[in-house]
Amino acid sequence: MTGRRKAVVQMLFGAGLVGLRSLASGVPASVLLNPRRAMAGGPDSGAADGAAAFTNPQFVIYSTSSNGDPVNCNAPGTYDDPKIYHPGDPSMASTPMTFGSRTVDGAKIWSTLGPSVLAQTSFFHHGTYTIIHPDEVKVLGLLGQVSNGEMLCSFLSRELSTALGTVRPQPLSLGGNGSIEAIFYQGQPQAFLTPTTLASVLAAPSNGLGAANLVALRDQTLDSLNAYARSMGNTAQKNFIDQYATSVSQLRTLQHGLLGSLSAIKDDSQDSQIQAALILFQMKVTPLVTVHVNFGGDNHGDTGLANEIAGHTSGVASIGKMMQGIASAAFIMPVRAIPDGDERDKDVANAIRYAVDHGARVINMSFGKPYSPFKSAVDDAVRYADAHGVLMVVAAGNDGASLDTASNFPTPYYNGGGRATNWIEVGASSWRGGDTVAVAFSNYSHTKVDVFAPGEDILSSVQGGGYERLSGTSMAAPVVSGLAALIMSHYPNLTVGQVRQIILDSATRYDHASLEPGAHNTETVPFASLSVTGGIVNAYNALRMAQQERAGH
């Protein structure tokens, strides 16, 4: 191992590569470093004061710049002050945006993040009390208001470290601009790491993550912990380890996903910095990463504020891409079960088993047919997925028919009786609303379709490259699968049954009438009668409910 690579690996994974053992086994680094203390006190043992009280600790991407970026001049909440000047470009026009129950005006470019992102966004403004750019280090320390000479970012990193189970409490900088943007932790300057360096070290063909035998490291780590638990004489310690342990299939999925994410890093741009930060969070290296997202720089010499406009365009776009990565612990495993035409039962059964055996936690099945000659083979595969705690999300079909009388396979109902529990059947809703909220082609049933999701004119990638707007319950089912992945990514300790119930319970109910699906139907029925929930999935409600479930409310 070269000196440079060794230094980077040591910085990422700590002494004895404890972070790599944590990545392989799923067991927090703090437990591996002090198993006696951890097993004696439970998951929160050894937490810093107040850390155990965190109900939903979050990783932090902290953007900082010494360039005097005017982001604060055009953010929501600044357009009510007539003394603040804004660029005349249409993208910066005053535009109302809603945050929770409050509506404020901000630059139009911020509204492009969309309501679902804005619902999770807060803006707050504080004075820097200096106009000198090289004072950034002082500003990050709130001009001495953070104790012990800490910076706000290092204070947050230290407080979150134990709660998140990271390898190191210190923050990492991915976008610093020399000493003027240095990050300090307890008075000591912290290392600067570029995204391309991270990728070159961890994705190296000969000695990167792909070459590491993480399965063997996992087995060795868990065997050692289990032996220690046995020596303590009861099963409570064994159960403590099991709640963290990663399965072999989950580890392989994680390893492949990390390598795919690393291979996508080609430069040190702000988008690559954000991608690298998400990778570091997946590996639980650090609670906080600093990046440099440009919003235009010092505008004193910015003719027509062109840089300010361009910077806001690229900066907000980078934030949007970052928010697209909030399910960054989720990876897509394409499994082709249908060569052409209707799927064969044998292929469906084999595809389900393959997905389960390779670590899938959610299986999206955007296909269906009216006959199933070898249903018993599919039933056995569905039982296998159900027993392994895998959520199956299935398109209800596009015949505009009631599943009370029509058939659409696969189904959760087994030959001979019984049904799968980890199953969600999805109908398609329309963006049009009114009495066409249920799309005319969607199958429906008050007892067999669980919930509706957007399934009309959905922008989708297509074979050969590019995008098209497509419609079908095959578009609606992935919306629910993505929501399940989002919940599992944020709240990995929830059971699959809890995730399923949260998705159904959090759906938005519609009490008004809708045209009954069918090609020529003109009769209206209560939308609530078309599915078990009578509603359409709602990601915002689901995440709030998941947070409450995690907190034990």
SS3 per residue for 241-279: HHCCCCCHHHHHHHHHHHHHHHHCCCCCCHHHHHHHHHH
State mean pLDDT over 477-500: 90
Out of 27-36, 53-62, 196-205, pick the least confident: 53-62
443 touches 406 (CB < 8 A): yes
- Is it the case that residue 47 has pLDDT exceeding 60? no
DSSP 147: G
Single-letter code of the amino acid located at 388? H
CATH of domain 345-550: 3.40.50.200
Other beta carbons within 10 angstroms of residue 286's beta carbon come to 26
State mean pLDDT over 4-28: 81
This model's pTM is above 0.75: no
Classified as helix, coil or strand, 514 is strand
State mean pLDDT over 534-542: 92
State mean pLDDT over 429-455: 93
Out of 226-230, 386-390, 409-413, 516-520, pick the least confident: 226-230
Instruction: Give the per-residue pLDDT at 227.
Output: 83
Greater pLDDT, 294 or 134: 294
Contacts of 133 (CB under 8 A, 6+ apart): 66, 67, 68, 180, 298
Greater pLDDT, 260 or 159: 159
State mean pLDDT over 411-438: 93
Confidence of residue 40 (pLDDT cuts 50, 70, 90): low
Tell me the percentage of the chain whose pLDDT exceeds 90: 38
Q: Mark 323-333 as b/e (b = at least 16 C-beta within 10 Å).
A: bebebbbbbee
Average pLDDT, rounded, for the chain: 84
How does pLDDT run across 230-266, given as a tens digit for each residue? Answer: 776 666 666 667 666 666 666 776 777 788 788 888 8
Rg (C-alpha) for the chain, rounded Å, is 26
Cα–Cα distance, 492 to 289 (Å, whole number) = 22
Tell me the percentage of the chain whose pLDDT exceeds 70: 88
Confidence of residue 39 (pLDDT cuts 50, 70, 90): low
How does pLDDT run across 347-361, given as a tens digit for each residue? Answer: 999 999 999 888 889
- Is it the case that residue 42 has pLDDT exceeding 60? no
Domain ranges of the chain: 3-75+125-293, 345-550
What are φ and ψ of residue 317, in 5° steps? Answer: -60, -40
Instruction: Give the per-residue pLDDT at 531.
Output: 96
Per-range mean pLDDT, top range of 51-60, 398-407, 485-494: 398-407
